[in-house]
Chain A
């Protein structure tokens, strides 16, 4: 019984977990190691850390966080944000991360996906994509720099390219749904999941237990990611798992 994964996401800035809405208005919500441990104990299947204030000066702060996390939790975890070279990847993997998430850097330098996949294996390379529906409704555009810049690139085209280059997983964030708490962007996820031959992680918009159920019942994702819902203790990972188990969705209990 292969299970659907529940993944809490921690946005980290200068060594602290923060949370904003639609990528703005950041609030501090806690210590990354403590939060990671809490979610581990609640039964999280995996954890994603995104270093959103990534500059060269505080790069070492993140390496230190990763190091501590690796000693505290015994489930896979992914680190992203500000990773721009194979060397950056190596540093995070050596510190204990299992996977690397590439977003803006992969668009600016797609070779990074291929190089990372070749050296560390496809399973190590998660390509994170932030996308927003075009005004004319014909599809979605890919955004970079934390949702600030429209690349003009089509979501489907970019995803296909990322897969060709060796992406092992796709972390897909809907900017339209993010922060609304009105549910995952099923339409956008379906558009990608129908052709993706690697796991797709749904992100953005999760506001309640039924949103997790919906994304899995619609069969448009292999994993679901949420942040504020967990950080503000609205629901625990354990509650999500119990709810999904009741709904006959395969989860690790």
Chain B
């Protein structure tokens, strides 16, 4: 079972609908016991960095997430859920993230493009990854965000997208932790294929 963590933000049902579509057993929950029982967890999210961290703290889920990662279970952070995997966020004020990945979340700055970055963008590969085993070369994914990861470790970066002069980390992967800045649940058949790969990790 994959636990979709409910911390009061974001459209959890989109992720649930996509998981049901690929035949994955899943449950939307904020209960520690349920989350500990899961074979893998998804941290979704739309909204502001600080609100997300506050909610995770209020629900005492920060330690739960960190423990799950230490146990070696797969974790997938999507959009804001990916951003909070990093050390710090600078959305409004400085805010501490989960610190599972090295790097910070900062505002995108480029006068030549519209921000938020909304729409489909091609994934450019930084390195090989199991996620792409069954995908064609040109993969497009759907992004909606104004902040992005910086000062990350190049070794964690699997794929990125170019937007104006900006290099947007799209997909990061370190051991059992995956982060997608784009929305795989809204990225058509290729997005579903990526979720299938995550499902296969959760065993």
Interface of A with B (CB < 8 Å)? Answer: 1-3, 5, 40, 43, 45, 70-71, 74-76, 93-94, 96, 98, 120-124, 168-169, 196-199, 222-223, 252-253
A168 with B192: CB separation less than 8 A: no
**A35, chain B: closest CB distance, angstroms:** 17
The 7 closest A-B pairs by CB, nearest first: A252-B140, A1-B122, A252-B120, A123-B144, A3-B120, A2-B121, A76-B186
A70 with B13: CB separation less than 8 A: yes
Interface of B with A (CB < 8 Å)? Answer: 11, 13-14, 17-18, 20-21, 46-47, 113-122, 138, 140, 142, 144, 161-163, 183, 185-189, 191-192
B119 with A3: CB separation less than 8 A: yes
Residues of the A chain whose Cβ atoms lie less than 8 Å from the Cβ of B162: 1-2
B17 with A70: CB separation less than 8 A: yes
A1 to B141 Cα, complex, angstroms: 11
A45 in contact with B186 given A96-B13, A198-B114 (CB within 8 Å): no
A2 with B188: CB separation less than 8 A: no
Contact of B142 among A75, A93, A122, A199 (CB under 8 A): A75
A225 to B163 Cα, complex, angstroms: 23
Considering only CB atoms, which chain B residue lies closest to A199 in the complex? Answer: B118
Residues of the A chain whose Cβ atoms lie less than 8 Å from the Cβ of B14: 70, 96, 98
B13 with A74: CB separation less than 8 A: no
A216 to B154 Cα, complex, angstroms: 35
A5 in contact with B119 given A74-B21, A74-B191, A76-B186 (CB within 8 Å): yes
A45 to B117 Cα, complex, angstroms: 15
Question: Can you name 6 A-B pairs with beta carbons within 8 Å?
Answer: A3-B122, A70-B17, A71-B21, A93-B11, A222-B114, A253-B138
Considering only CB atoms, which chain B residue lies closest to A97 in the complex? Answer: B11
A241 to B48 Cα, complex, angstroms: 34
**B186, chain A: closest CB distance, angstroms:** 5
A2 with B119: CB separation less than 8 A: yes
Given contacts A2-B120, A74-B192, 8 further A-B contacts (CB under 8 A): A1-B162, A3-B121, A70-B17, A74-B189, A98-B186, A252-B120, A252-B122, A253-B140
Contact of A74 among B47, B113, B188 (CB under 8 A): B188
Considering only CB atoms, which chain A residue lies closest to B189 in the complex? Answer: A74
A94 with B13: CB separation less than 8 A: yes
Residues of the A chain whose Cβ atoms lie less than 8 Å from the Cβ of B140: 3, 252-253
A2 with B113: CB separation less than 8 A: yes
**B164, chain A: closest CB distance, angstroms:** 8
A1 to B14 Cα, complex, angstroms: 25
Residues of the B chain whose Cβ atoms lie less than 8 Å from the Cβ of A75: 142, 186-188
Residues of the B chain whose Cβ atoms lie less than 8 Å from the Cβ of A43: 188
**B7, chain A: closest CB distance, angstroms:** 15
Residues of the B chain whose Cβ atoms lie less than 8 Å from the Cβ of A96: 11, 13-14, 17
Among B114, B189, B191, max chain A CB count under 10 A is at: B114
A121 with B46: CB separation less than 8 A: yes
Residues of the A chain whose Cβ atoms lie less than 8 Å from the Cβ of B183: 76
A197 in contact with B119 given A40-B188, A98-B11 (CB within 8 Å): no
**B101, chain A: closest CB distance, angstroms:** 23
Residues of the B chain whose Cβ atoms lie less than 8 Å from the Cβ of A223: 119
A70 to B16 Cα, complex, angstroms: 10
Residues of the A chain whose Cβ atoms lie less than 8 Å from the Cβ of B17: 70-71, 74, 96
**A242, chain B: closest CB distance, angstroms:** 14
B46 with A74: CB separation less than 8 A: no
Residues of the B chain whose Cβ atoms lie less than 8 Å from the Cβ of A5: 119-120
**B118, chain A: closest CB distance, angstroms:** 5
Residues of the B chain whose Cβ atoms lie less than 8 Å from the Cβ of A124: 46
A40 to B174 Cα, complex, angstroms: 33
A2 with B142: CB separation less than 8 A: no
Residues of the A chain whose Cβ atoms lie less than 8 Å from the Cβ of B115: 197
B46 with A2: CB separation less than 8 A: no
Considering only CB atoms, which chain B residue lies closest to A169 in the complex? Answer: B118
Residues of the A chain whose Cβ atoms lie less than 8 Å from the Cβ of B191: 74
